[in-house]
């Protein structure tokens, strides 16, 4: 395993490069794939593991051993660790630490969204200097984009990233994300998702001027890629990494997603969990599945 950034070896370290630059380098090396670690009960059973803390740890650390140094990014889903209580969170800490030690980017999928001091607390936990601090975290902007400011600012301070939900694939998402805010300018048809894109663009402007990928990304579901054009979202101008869940097993098309986002296709980081994890529990099979998926995605998204 080759460490991408030795300066980030400890939880209190500040990486020598900002998140967007590190992610670009990782995708150039390993391809545009982010593998999820999703130890839900059905997968534990499929791997013949107990739905317990011991089973959770075996599953999670086997994923780390298979993917560290092999893929651009690994995305543990916090909920599947939290459901086991404090012992499960302790396993998550070990996963984050192991990925950090290996030099593999860790995106912690927590989807936190709150205001004021509470948002600051979440930011300190996941993109600060504590034992759960990852390279990036997912956040929900639906209390208003500026409610995320504590996370955006702290992530920037420590060279970390933030992925903001913009267009999600759940059927209920469109009712919020496609809506036009009541305080929109007269004649404006900019949606809530459009406000998110505008906020991300502003936060990534300095990185764009420096000629590098921004540190504030967006989550764009591959299965709702058609909504990018329908809502008139200029994702390329946002200069943002685009985390795209739903490519592959969930029915999203890599080529369709690439066509929908246009010039922003080079910024896509496709998230895959089910398609890769079903190859387990054998480490070599997991690694092989990840490599094959990364190669396919590189052709679909970059070719």
**Tens-digit pLDDT profile for residues 8-20:** 445 657 888 999 9
Q: Tell me the three state secondary structure of residue 268.
A: strand
**Tens-digit pLDDT profile for residues 208-257:** 999 999 999 999 999 888 999 999 999 999 999 999 998 866 667 788 89
End-to-end, the C-alpha distance of the chain in Å comes to 27
For the chain, the maximum distance between any two Cα atoms, rounded to a whole number of angstroms, is 58
**Model pTM?**
0.94
Q: What's the rounded Cα separation, in Å, for the pair 90 and 53?
A: 10
Catalytic-residue membership of 75: no
Higher-pLDDT residue of 104, 171: 104
Mapping DSSP onto H, E and C, the string for 164-225 reads EEEECCCCCHHHHHCCCCCCCCCCCCCCHHHHHHHHHHHHCHHHHHCCCCCCEEEEECHHHC
**Tens-digit pLDDT profile for residues 248-280:** 666 677 888 999 999 999 999 999 998 999 999
**Tens-digit pLDDT profile for residues 84-113:** 999 999 999 999 999 999 999 999 999 999
Q: How many residues does the chain have?
A: 303
Cβ atoms of 200 and 214 within 8 Å: the answer is: yes
From 25, 51, 89, 111, active-site residue = 111
281 contacts: CB under 8 Å, gap ≥ 6? 47, 48, 49, 59, 62
Say what the pLDDT of residue 303 is: 72
What is the average pLDDT value for the chain, to the nearest integer? 92
Say what the pLDDT of residue 72 is: 98
Cis peptide bond prior to 281, omega within 30° of 0: yes
Cβ atoms of 133 and 167 within 8 Å: the answer is: no
């Amino acid at each position: 395993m080759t460490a991408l950034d030795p300066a980030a070896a400890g939880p209190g370290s500040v990486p020598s490069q900002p998140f967007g630059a590190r992610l670009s380098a990782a995708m150039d090396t390993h391809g545009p794939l982010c593998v999820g670690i999703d130890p839900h009960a059905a997968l534990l059973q499929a791997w013949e593991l107990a739905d317990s803390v011991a089973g959770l740890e075996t599953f999670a650390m086997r994923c780390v051993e298979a993917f560290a140094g092999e893929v651009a990014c690994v995305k543990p889903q916090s909920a599947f660790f939290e459901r086991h209580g404090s012992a499960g969170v302790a396993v998550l800490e070990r996963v984050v630490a192991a990925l950090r030690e290996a030099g593999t980017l860790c995106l912690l999928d927590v989807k936190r969204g709150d205001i004021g001091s509470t948002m600051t607390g979440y930011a300190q936990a996941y993109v600060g200097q504590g034992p759960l601090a990852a390279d990036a975290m997912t956040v929900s902007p639906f209390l208003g984009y500026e409610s995320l400011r504590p996370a955006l600012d702290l992530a920037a301070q420590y060279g970390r990233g933030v992925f903001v939900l913009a267009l999600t694939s759940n059927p209920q998402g469109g009712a919020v994300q496609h809506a036009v805010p009541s305080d929109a300018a007269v004649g404006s048809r900019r949606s809530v998702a459009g406000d998110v894109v505008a906020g991300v663009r502003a936060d990534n402007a300095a990185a764009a001027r420096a000629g590098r990928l921004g540190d504030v990304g967006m989550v764009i579901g591959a299965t709702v890629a058609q909504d990018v054009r329908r809502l008139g979202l200029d994702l390329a101008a946002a200069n943002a990494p685009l985390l795209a869940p739903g490519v592959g097993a969930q029915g999203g098309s890599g080529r369709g997603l690439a066509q929908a986002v246009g010039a922003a296709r080079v910024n896509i980081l496709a998230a895959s969990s089910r398609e890769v994890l079903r190859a387990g529990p054998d480490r070599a099979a997991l690694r092989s599945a990840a490599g094959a998926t990364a190669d396919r995605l590189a052709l679909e998204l970059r070719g």
